[in-house]
Each structure stands twice: as structure tokens, then as C-alpha cells.
Amino acid sequence: MIIVRITLNVLPEKQLEFTQTLLSMIEATEMETGCLSYGVYSDIEDKNCYNLLEEWETREDLNHHMRSHRFSVLLGSKTLLCKPLKIQIFTVAASEGIEAVNSSRETKNNLSG
């Protein structure tokens, strides 16, 4: 699985235009081959800071997305930003769920009791 985090700091006066751009991209991107999830998150301390979190099945799926018109629109939104966007791409070899949390907590409880 591939995880992409894109951090965007929007100019306050461009907030509405930027939000409309993001909203127009969500559903269409979620329908792309290999897209597992695509979410837009606002920073609770800075309403002008957004994070896009994307999950892709394969690097090929992500590469196809990054060559798409939608991704070009996102890159073109740089005129609405007060800082350059920051992109991080993570390749995930394994993931764990609540079982890992429960196991860790049980180990702690056994050590302290």
C-alpha cells in the first residue's frame, strides 16, 4: 500500500476558492483504479492548513493518478497557497489494527501487575 500526505497552507483570502477546488476532486479521485481512500482534513489550530491523505493499492496506481488532470489541478492551485505544498509518499509493507493495541496494553498490564 502507498500512502500520500500533501500539506497545503492556503492564503486566507483564497479559502473559498481552494475549498471548492478540493471538493470537486474528492469523489472523482475516489473512483480511480487503485484508490483505497482519499480524504481532506483541516488543521484544528490553523483553519488555513489542509492535509490530503490518500491510500493507493500500488505505486503504478499512484503514478497514474499523479499524471491525471485532477492532480494537475491540485498542483496548479499553488497560486492559492502561502507556502509551497509539501508532498510525502510512504510505502507501507505491513499494517496492524486494534489487536496490536490490545496486545501492547496487555503486556504493560502484565509487567506492572
Structural domains counted in the chain: 1
Predicted pLDDT at 44: 93
| Cell numbers for 83 | 507556502
Instruction: Show the domain range for 50.
Output: 2-112
The secondary structure of the chain as a DSSP string is: -EEEEEEEEB-GGGHHHHHHHHHHHHHHHHTSTTEEEEEEEE-SS-TTEEEEEEEES-HHHHHHHHTSHHHHHHHHGGGGBSS--EEEEEE-S----HHHHHHHHHHHHHHH-
CATH value at residue 20: 3.30.70.100
Report angle CA 28, 30, 35 to the nearest 5 degrees. Answer: 135
- The residues that bridge with 87 in the sheet, in sequence order, are 6
In angstroms and rounded to an integer, the radius of gyration of the C-alpha atoms of the chain is 18
pLDDT in tens, 42-64: 999 999 999 999 999 999 999 99
Predicted pLDDT at 95: 87
Q: Which residues of the chain have pLDDT under 70?
A: 108-113
